[in-house]
Amino acid sequence: MAKAPVLTPQADDFPRWYQDLITKAELADNGPVRGTMVIRPYGYGLWERMQQEMDARIKQAGASNAYFPLFIPQSYLTREAEHVEGFAPELAVVTHGGGKELEEPVVVRPTSETIINEYFSKWVQSYRDLPLLINQWANVVRWELRPRVFLRTSEFLWQEGHTAHASYEDARDYAARIHTDVYGDFMTNVLGIDVVLGRKTAKERFAGAINTLTLEAMMGDGKALQMGTSHELGQNFAKAFNTQYLSKDGQQELVWQTSWGVSTRMVGGLIMSHGDDNGLRVPPRLAPVQAVVLAIKGDDAVIAKVREIGDRLRAAGVRVTVDDRTDTPFGRRAVDWELKGVPVRIEVGPRDLENGTAMLARRIPGGKEPVAVDTLPEVVPAVLEEDQALLLAQSRERRESRTADVTTLAEAAEAAATGWARIPWSELGPEGEAKLAEQGVTVRCLIAEDGTVPTADDAPGTLALVARAY
Amino acid sequence: MAKAPVLTPQADDFPRWYQDLITKAELADNGPVRGTMVIRPYGYGLWERMQQEMDARIKQAGASNAYFPLFIPQSYLTREAEHVEGFAPELAVVTHGGGKELEEPVVVRPTSETIINEYFSKWVQSYRDLPLLINQWANVVRWELRPRVFLRTSEFLWQEGHTAHASYEDARDYAARIHTDVYGDFMTNVLGIDVVLGRKTAKERFAGAINTLTLEAMMGDGKALQMGTSHELGQNFAKAFNTQYLSKDGQQELVWQTSWGVSTRMVGGLIMSHGDDNGLRVPPRLAPVQAVVLAIKGDDAVIAKVREIGDRLRAAGVRVTVDDRTDTPFGRRAVDWELKGVPVRIEVGPRDLENGTAMLARRIPGGKEPVAVDTLPEVVPAVLEEDQALLLAQSRERRESRTADVTTLAEAAEAAATGWARIPWSELGPEGEAKLAEQGVTVRCLIAEDGTVPTADDAPGTLALVARAY
């Protein structure tokens, strides 16, 4: 008799599989206020590792962390016309504080361009103060009518970078640097997701930006997820907040700015990129737990051995957990670690002790085989690196095999039913984009023929990547 | 002619000195909404280091990080009677979301006992799920009528731990473990502040707790600052949220709980503990920048030398910054690093190159002397350890010399004008406590004669520590 599946199979109902996995792997729960979420310890552990890896890259790019208030005076939002138009429908508004009605209602930040510019305009005096490179890790609120855990939540966690530069070129180059060296490098080499780096069309730009760079990933069902964005803000906010500096020539000049962010949405992207019918598969470089050493039975020699193996792997630089909770049946624990997607399981029972071996189960390619215990400190790190590469290769393979090159709008819409379409932007244009949107298909980004990021929408040979998206 | 002081001297006006320092050392600004603050990069760097050190200790104590929503249904707050009474006057309330009035207003979390218990009651089923040890790093909002940057702000950053246990004893021991092994160890050995660990009186307990443990520090002006608290919640929230588990005996039992937190208020405590008329003094183990290597003049050989020294100190494990911004006058940069309290400055000019020396300036004891460049990788780490110990010794010296042993209420009130008083709790009692409160003097905590934490308010020989407080 076949076992009942732990999760709804992906092929039966992908959204339900996603929700099942999040619940059963104990990643998150829905919050009590509609659209909010509770991130449980294992899910938060994934986010913490993302933060560590990202934070190191952000600092490497020269930015410093700071913290700006959660509450923004409503009047700030209205100073940049496109910005307020973009965010007004999503705002949460505080009207009462300390038992009294407030004189001016305050908005819970949906993003911090406005309040940060208020301070940049005080801090920046001269060209010596530039570039000013700031990042913050924070929660933001955007009221969400169709929430989905991690992907679209009324409150989410993110980092938002905000910078001011002396010239257009410097700002442009910094937005591009974050796009490739921080986000692109992290998503490709840590998350193991084969993201496409491109440029948003005018329609899809951030509210207040002159250019938005994006990273798009293909999920297991062929749909696209925007994993992060880096914006050139031009001088739009500088004008609204009068953020000026004294140039070397003694002139007052407006600064040029960027902003850029990634959020807990990446956890959703991770799940839908790498998950399978048995649960999550976490890329080893990200994994908070890279290997779990399981005692099959609770006898003393087995317990001693799993602890010893744990110590030896830890000494070899592996992030390891020892599971000696033998009052819970082994089978249930094994399924749980599989659901949680821990890359390597090392299972030790009484018979293994006699042989000096342990069973090594690999979550990413699947399968298990006995391995001499003494070789584990060499074998496990090698296996982890192999499986990291395997996830990226699988992600790439999926994206390539499910992306069709097409030349007409009808073909693009058809391809987007099961995957992505690449179509010359000159064939589509803003009108074609609007027509596709009526069918729920969007231009995810513009890319150059050689796969690089085009410097303008109308650069010759520009391709549009078209898909349904989360 | 004497230089004009950079800061208002402490002796002239301590509160103004504090505000001056925060502004001039670029630690924080006031936010636009009353009582909020902008934490600038250097101030946030101090908080980040506090987070790192604390987070490691919290994980060592077995707790895992998670994240609960910012927004709490108003109805949750009212379930625990004392809790709502304590927090109602400080709440910020969201009444509108996504352009509509909400059916039920939501509260911006002032603390998360209620919402966390709602989930604990789902997650905890059996004794196997206990203890459940959770921590979160988050922002919270408590509307503040008399705000002061870092010390009392309407929004602040903190960690809040929340745990559930099978027995009273286990919860009690865990609250005590956090009090001593996490908070006490961190504040003493990293912050270099000679905190007193004690127990709050019933009047000063957290709203909803059966016992509150506290850490109290003496500031430079002799007043007290509560640096952190760890609460035994008993079964108060468990009753309100029906948080039960199936015991080994097959009985449904209510859990026993703790909660504990420290916040960005510690940055204020750091400033007022260690700051002097020249600025901040940052303990080396905390310092984001332990040593700065300054080029006095902009010639190529000097620039090359400061970078080389920076690399060598970095290799020796020192957190170092190289300051080669020689387009800003050296004197101004030196004053700025002094204001920021970087423990060690290494100054290199053309003459030093000839001698193979550099000037080593120590912020904590003060003074400077020439040191052979080749010895810096040994000298600097040794100096840093010495100065760490020195700060703690100074903090202890101040507390001891400014704490008076008294036996009457009148003496206690008098001593509290300039420092702290120790008085037998049996002499004071809740009535004396109320009388002192009329004069703005509070019982900071109860301690045993041997300096340990009393297990009950009425334990024989219990002393009350009495002071004015921030």
Question: Which tens digits make up the pLDDT trace of A237-255?
Answer: 999 999 999 999 999 999 9
pLDDT at A85: 86
Contact A65, B48 (CB under 8 A): yes
The shortest CB-CB distance from A44 to any of B67, B98, B115 is to B67
- A271 and A264 Cβ atoms separated by less than 8 Å: no
CB contact under 8 A, B92 and A97: yes
Residue of A nearest to B38 (CA): A68
pLDDT tens profile A35-49: 999 999 999 999 999
- Whether B461 has a pLDDT exceeding 80, the answer reads yes
Mean pLDDT of the B230-245 span: 96
**CB A469: neighbour CB atoms within 10 A?**
18
Residue B268 pLDDT > 90, yes or no?
Answer: yes
Closest residue in chain A to residue B66, using alpha carbons only: A41
The confidence score (pLDDT) of residue A457 equals 87
pTM score, two decimals? 0.97
Distance, CA of B279 to CA of B42 (rounded, Å): 13
- Between the alpha carbon of residue A295 and those of residues A360, A374, B445, the distances in Å are 13, 17, 47
Could you read off the pLDDT of A109-155 as tens digits, one per residue?
999 999 999 999 999 999 999 999 999 999 999 999 899 999 999 99
Averaged over A293-320, what is the pLDDT? 96
Output the six-digit token pair for B48: 């980040």
- CB-CB: which of A40, A67, A328 is closest to B157? A67
Q: Do B33 and A106 touch (CB under 8 A)?
A: yes
Enter the tokens of residue A193: 């997701």
Upper half-sphere CA count for residue A325 (Cβ side, 13 Å): 14
Confidence of residue B4 (pLDDT cuts 50, 70, 90): confident
What CATH number is given for A14-274 in this structure?
3.30.930.10
A1 has pLDDT over 60? no
Q: What is the pLDDT of residues A395-425, one digit of tens each?
A: 999 999 999 999 999 999 999 999 999 999 9
Say if CB B276 and CB B398 are below 8 A apart: no
Choose among A45, A71, A96: nearest Cβ to B93: A96
B404-467 has CATH 3.40.50 classification? no
B26-37 exposure pattern, b = at least 16 Cβ within 10 A, e = fewer:
ebbbbbbbbbbb
pLDDT grade, residue B414 (50/70/90)?
very high
Query: How many angstroms separate the CA atoms of B280 and B286, rounded?
Result: 13
Provide the mean pLDDT of chain A: 96
Q: Please enumerate in sequence order all residues whose Cβ is within 8 A of that of A180, keeping only pairs 6 or more positions apart, or say none.
A: A197
Nearest CB to A128; choose among B31, B91, B327: B327
Distance (Å, rounded) from C-alpha A350 to C-alpha A369? 16
Q: How far is B33 from chain A (nearest CA, A)?
A: 7
What CATH number belongs to B291-383? Answer: 3.40.50.800
Nearest alpha-carbon partner for A387 in A367, A371, A365? A365
pLDDT surpasses 90 at A330:
yes
- A2: pLDDT confidence band, cut at 50, 70 and 90? low
Q: With beta carbons under 8 A apart, name residues in chain B contacting A115.
A: 31-32
Q: What is the dihedral of CA B370, B373, B375, B380, to 10 degrees?
A: 70
Torsion over CA: B98, B103, B108, B109 (sign)? negative
Q: Categorize the per-residue pLDDT at A458 as very low, low, confident or very high, splitting at 50, 70 and 90.
A: confident
- The structure tokens listed for A42 are 């294992």
Question: For A311, how many CA atoms within 13 A lie in the half-sphere containing its CB?
Answer: 5
Contact between B65 and A88 using a beta-carbon 8 Å cutoff: no
Cα B465 from Cα B412, distance rounded (Å): 9
CB contact under 8 A, B93 and A98: no
Bridge partner list, A64: A134
Residue A134 C-alpha, separation from nearest chain B C-alpha, in angstroms: 8
| pLDDT class of A64 with cuts at 50, 70, 90 | very high
Nearest residue to B358 via CA among B283, B307, B286 = B307
Size of interface A-B (CB pairs under 8 A): 167
Question: What's residue A83's pLDDT?
Answer: 82
CA of A36: how far to CAs of A94, A147, A157, A307, B69, in Å? 17, 8, 11, 39, 6
**CB contact (8 A) between residue B99 and residue A91:** yes
> Token pair 């590469």 is at which residue?
A389
Q: What is the mean pLDDT of residues B129-136?
A: 98
A127 burial level (CB within 10 Å; 0-12, 13-18, 19+): middle
Residue B1 confidence (pLDDT): 45
Contact A91 B97 (CB under 8 A): yes
Give residue B431's pLDDT. Answer: 96
Where along chain B do its domains lie?
A: 14-274, 291-383, 404-467
The structure tokens listed for A253 are: 């000049």
Buried b vs exposed e over A215-229: b needs ≥16 C-beta within 10 Å?
bbbbbbbbbbbbbbb
Using a pLDDT cut of 70, give the percent of chain B over it: 99
Q: Which of A44, A67, A145 faces B98 most closely, judged by CB atoms?
A: A145
Cα B265–B391–B395 angle (5° rounding)?
70
Structure tokens at B326: 């020689």
C-alpha distances in Å from residue A78, one per residue of A107, A114, B32, B98: 11, 9, 15, 16
Residues of chain A positioned with their CB less than 8 A from the CB of B36: 69-71
Q: Other CB atoms closer than 10 Å to residue A458's CB: what's the count?
A: 10
DSSP A385: H
Model confidence pLDDT, tens digit, residues B276-304 = 999 999 999 999 999 999 999 989 999 99
Q: B94 - beta bridge partners?
A: A94, B106
**Which pLDDT band holds residue A3 (cuts at 50, 70, 90)?**
low
Determine the pLDDT at residue A292: 98
Work out the number of other CB atoms within 10 angstroms of the CB of residue B81. 12
Which residues does residue A96 pair with via DSSP β-bridges, in sequence order? A101, B93
The pair phi, psi for residue B438, each rounded to 5°, is -60, -25
Interstrand relation of B132-141 and B420-424 (parallel, antiparallel or unpaired):
unpaired
The torsion of the CA quartet A79, A80, A81, A83, rounded to 10 degrees, works out to -120
State whether B44 and A66 contact (CB < 8 Å).
Answer: yes
What would you report as the CA-atom Rg of chain A, rounded to the nearest whole angstrom?
A: 25
> Which of A66, A72, A139 is closest, CB to CB, to B39?
A66
Q: B317-356 pLDDT, tens per residue?
A: 999 999 999 989 999 999 999 999 999 999 999 999 999 9
pLDDT at B239: 96
- Classify domain A291-379 at the CATH topology level: Rossmann fold (3.40.50)
Strand partners, A408: none
B70 touches A139 (CB < 8 A): yes
Cβ atoms within 10 Å of A321's Cβ, excluding its own: 16
Predicted confidence at residue A73, as pLDDT, reads 95
